[in-house]
Amino acid sequence: MFFLKKNLEYFIYMFFNSIDFAVFFPIVFVLYWFFSKNLTKRNLLILGASYLFYGWWDWRFLVLILISSLVDFIIGIKLYESTSKKQKNIYLIISLFVNLGLLVYFKYTNFFIETFVESFIFFGKKIDNISLNIILPVGISFYTFQTLSYSIDIYRNQLKPTKNWLAFFSFVSFFPQLVAGPIERASHLLPQFYKTYKFNYKLVKSGLLLIVFGLFKKMVIADRAALYVNEVYNNVDGYTGVEYFYATVFFAVQIYCDFSGYSDIAIGVARTMGFDLMKNFDSPYFSKSLTEFWRRWHISLSTWFRDYVFIPLGGSRKGKMKTYFNLFIVFVISGLWHGAAITFIIWGAIHGLILIVEKASLKFKNKIFKRIHLDKNSHFIKLFFSLLTFFIVCLAWVFFRANSLADAVIIIDGIFNQFNLGDVFLKETYLIGFKPNEFRVLIGSITILIMVELLHKKYSLVKRLNAHGIVFRWFIYFLMVFVIIIFGKYGDEIIKEFIYFQF
């Protein structure tokens, strides 16, 4: 399922946690502020740096970004100038055809071929499986959605097009968020390419702190958790219930720290240059329902699907049953967006079905609370529903991470039918894939993360830190870097790329 790993064996990519980026970013940062007062030179630098950043993986796929940028730049102007609905529809269809056509070809061609072949097997006939050697361009799903939203917003008369090609091309390819988001709207990010910024020490420091925190999530937690997850999920026949349980919980931790870590670094890098990117995660595992979870998880994607799929389908305007149907369709599409496999579709369908159940039972649940005199705002109730939501999310993660549907079924069956509580604390169980003390470091790091997120909900930790003296502040800064250097995972035993690079 994690097909990009095979592709990356043949290419070098500039990961945020790589030496290449550690050299690339300081150079871009210095040049950026050197040219900051000249808007044209500054945007040229951003565009060149972004193309270099993406082309470091495979320069040929720069052609795809150029096509998407050029098509939607022209289409945007044509849409705005068009006087008839028919013309507007034609131009929008062209934008959709080009962008989604490229996405479908590179991401779903082999999936459709395999599905076609398997459908013949279902009817008792067998034909040779044909698989094309298509390499998935990193981040194509992200920049495709970003540029598509620009055309759709103009079509809806919610946005005026830009005639500044340099600003628009820079907006589409902005390197901090190019390959894994946040998926920005033109109304928010594009205007930021029209103005210059003055160097702001507090803003730069804030951005650097976010980068360090993101690297802590990725290198100390996510990459360490991956050792256990990969060992169990890639060898499902060798383990039983409690190992599946640990691996699934650790994957929930891994994917959150990996993806939110990427988002933190992206937002931090952009902030050091004066740019503001939208918040993409808001402590999602503290959610008390799946509805709340999707307000806090991958916010840029969930709001994109809401605005460009759910609402055009009719949203919640045409009755309950139509609303539930639209909701289910959106999450099935979301699953397919994440990957060309039946497991991703099932993952999306599970979320869609649970969300429907939540919405349908909301009034009934409130009546039950009233009848038995339970305070739904009590700490006990909040904790119960948070744990229940986390459990549901983890079960869905099984399908997201499993290498096949058969593997997912084995893991689900193992968790429910082979789980032995007595094995939870056995060394042979929790040290799978770990060297001595690795488990303790992982649990300690997760505990620190939970404490930080709980405290951050009450007040800004950055403001609290700034209230202390310079000696204490710099001690904390060096301590954070020291922890990453000492406890970060390095070497060939980990996969360095961020999980969402494959989407």
Mean pLDDT of the chain: 86
Q: Which two tokens stand for residue 122?
A: 């279902």
Close Cβ partners of 405 (under 8 Å, ≥ 6 residues apart): 342, 343, 346, 399
- How many whole angstroms separate alpha carbon 200 and alpha carbon 272? 8
Mean pLDDT across the stretch 173-187?
91
- Tell me: pLDDT of 475 over 90: no
pLDDT digits (tens, 9 = 90+) for 409-437: 999 998 888 776 666 665 566 667 777 78
Q: What is the pLDDT of residue 112?
A: 66
Using 50, 70 and 90 to split pLDDT, how confident is the model at 8?
Answer: very low
> Does the active-site annotation cover 373?
no
- How many whole angstroms separate alpha carbon 161 and alpha carbon 166? 13
Catalytic hit among 188, 298, 338, 468? 338
- How many whole angstroms separate alpha carbon 404 and alpha carbon 401? 9
Q: What is the pLDDT of residue 363?
A: 74
pTM: 0.90
Close Cβ partners of 349 (under 8 Å, ≥ 6 residues apart): 328, 331, 332, 335
- Tell me: pLDDT of 137 over 70: yes
Q: Which two tokens stand for residue 63?
A: 């052609």
pLDDT digits (tens, 9 = 90+) for 292-339: 999 999 999 999 999 999 999 988 888 889 999 999 999 999 999 988
- Tell me: pLDDT of 249 over 90: yes
Q: What is the pLDDT of residue 351?
A: 96
Mean pLDDT across the stretch 376-405?
90
Instruction: Find out whether 317 and 481 touch, Cβ atoms under 8 Å.
Output: no
- How many whole angstroms separate alpha carbon 232 and alpha carbon 238? 8
Burial of 392 (0-12, 13-18, 19+ CB in 10 A): middle
Q: What is the pLDDT of residue 6?
A: 40
Instruction: Find out whether 29 and 199 touch, Cβ atoms under 8 Å.
Output: no
**Amino acid in the structure at residue 127:** I
pLDDT digits (tens, 9 = 90+) for 328-380: 999 999 999 988 889 999 999 999 999 999 988 877 776 776 777 666 677 78
Burial of 313 (0-12, 13-18, 19+ CB in 10 A): middle
Cis peptide preceding 182, ω within 30 of 0: yes
Q: What is the pLDDT of residue 344?
A: 93
Using 50, 70 and 90 to split pLDDT, how confident is the model at 122?
Answer: low
| Percentage of the chain lying above the pLDDT 70 cut | 86
Using 50, 70 and 90 to split pLDDT, how confident is the model at 5?
Answer: very low
**What DSSP designation does 195 have?**
S
